[in-house]
């Protein structure tokens, strides 16, 4: 695992965007694994600017998002589809048919999970996957658990995560309690993984993920098993390393 420590959020975003842009510039039909959250918004902004300056094209790029809340449709401004549309999809020339995100409104979530896995199997592997990390060490919505869930699946969000994500909702009761997420094997199938995090609230999770025991209680610790992971963090997130 390579750990790169930057001074601040902007520098972390610049470094992450450089990885994304290099992959797409070298491979115009790249397959990208993408996250939501406040960590990657700076990266998306840089990527969009680069597209607007005619320096990169997404015409043949495919994207697979990590996760989605259950019960929020695409027009709900808290859905991850909406987030991605606001931050990336609507600003670049990605073809709608090349955009993939789990459907949190699917009637049968098991079927939807299988569909998503099969789509990724057919169109992947992901050349690069970007990840944020939850304060409790979750990746995607793989919450601390007794075991690692390998493939895309339905998950009950922990109280920690509901509280952490409540800041985006009017009231905590509005935060969905369930989500659909890629599993750890799905995530690890990416050729390269870039994890980004900033701020002291992430310091414990980063320390456990990078140098702690590999355990499903810290889902991000599984990344130690992958042979091409770059962790890009600011000084605060690195403070417990
Ligand atoms: N499912 C997402 C994760 O993919 C994300 O990494 C995490 C951290 O978010 P933030 O970057 O806003 O701290 O939040 C959510 O729970």
DSSP 56-123: ---TT-EEEESEEESS--TTSTTSHHHHHHHHTGGGS---GGGEE---TT-S-HHHHHHHHHHHHHHH
Name residue, tokens 């992901």: 126
**What number is the average pLDDT over the span 143-165?**
94
At 65-110, the pLDDT tens digits run 999 999 999 999 999 999 999 999 999 999 999 999 999 999 999 9
Residue 128: pLDDT over 90: yes
Residue 127: pLDDT over 90: yes
- 146 CA distance to ligand 1 centroid (A)? 21
Q: Is the ipTM of this complex over 0.90?
A: yes
Which atom of ligand 1 sits closest to the CA of residue 131? 6
Which atom of ligand 1 sits closest to the CA of residue 40? 11
Is 156 catalytic? The answer is no
How many helices and strands (H and E) does the chain possess?
Answer: 7, 10
Is 138 catalytic? The answer is yes
> Which among 110, 99, 19 is positioned nearest to 56, based on CA atoms?
19
* Active-site residue, selected from the candidate residues 50, 143, 154, 234: 143
- 36 CA distance to ligand 1 centroid (A)? 6
Residue 160's pLDDT is 87
**Ligand 1, atom 9, residue with closest C-alpha:** 37
> Which among 87, 91, 101 is positioned nearest to 44, based on CA atoms?
87
Asked, as a colleague might, if the bond just before 167 is cis with ω within 30 of 0, I would say no
Residue 149: pLDDT over 90: yes
- 133 CA distance to ligand 1 centroid (A)? 6
Name residue, tokens 């993939």: 100
Average pLDDT over the chain, rounded to an integer: 97
pLDDT more than 90, % of the chain = 97
- 78 CA distance to ligand 1 centroid (A)? 13
Is 67 catalytic? The answer is yes
**What number is the average pLDDT over the span 159-173?**
91
Compute the radius of gyration of the chain from its Cα atoms: 17
- The HSE-up count of residue 152 (CA atoms within 13 Å, CB side) is 25
pTM, two decimal places: 0.97
Which tokens belong to 36? 């939501």
Residue 81's pLDDT is 98
- Domain 2-234, CATH among 1.10.150.120, 3.40.50.620, 3.30.70.920, 3.40.50.1360: 3.40.50.1360
First to last CA, the chain: 13
Residue 12: pLDDT over 90: yes
**What number is the average pLDDT over the span 5-12?**
98
* Active-site residue, selected from the candidate residues 65, 98, 103, 136: 136
Is 160 catalytic? The answer is no
């Amino acid at each position: 695992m390579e750990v790169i420590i930057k001074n601040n959020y902007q520098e972390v975003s610049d470094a992450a965007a450089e990885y994304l842009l290099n992959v797409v510039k070298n491979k115009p039909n790249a397959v990208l694994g993408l996250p939501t959250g406040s960590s990657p918004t700076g990266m998306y902004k840089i990527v969009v600017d680069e597209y607007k300056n005619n320096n990169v094209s997404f015409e043949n790029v495919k994207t697979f998002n990590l996760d989605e809340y259950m019960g929020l449709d695409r027009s709900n401004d808290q859905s991850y589809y909406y987030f991605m549309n606001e931050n990336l999809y609507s600003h670049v020339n990605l073809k709608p048919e090349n955009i993939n995100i789990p459907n949190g409104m699917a009637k049968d979530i098991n079927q939807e999970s299988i569909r998503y896995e099969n789509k990724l199997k057919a169109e992947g592997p992901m050349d690069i996957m970007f990840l944020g990390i939850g304060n409790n060490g979750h990746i995607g919505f793989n919450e601390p658990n007794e075991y690692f869930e390998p493939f895309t699946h339905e998950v009950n969000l922990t109280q920690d995560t509901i509280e952490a994500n409540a800041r985006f909702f009017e009231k905590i009761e509005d935060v969905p309690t369930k989500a659909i997420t890629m599993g750890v094997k799905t995530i690890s199938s990416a050729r390269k993984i870039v994890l980004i995090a900033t701020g002291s609230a992430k310091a414990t999770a980063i320390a456990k993920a990078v140098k702690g025991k590999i355990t499903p209680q810290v889902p991000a610790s599984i990344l130690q098993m992958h042979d091409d992971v770059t962790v890009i963090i600011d000084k605060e997130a690195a403070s417990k390393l």
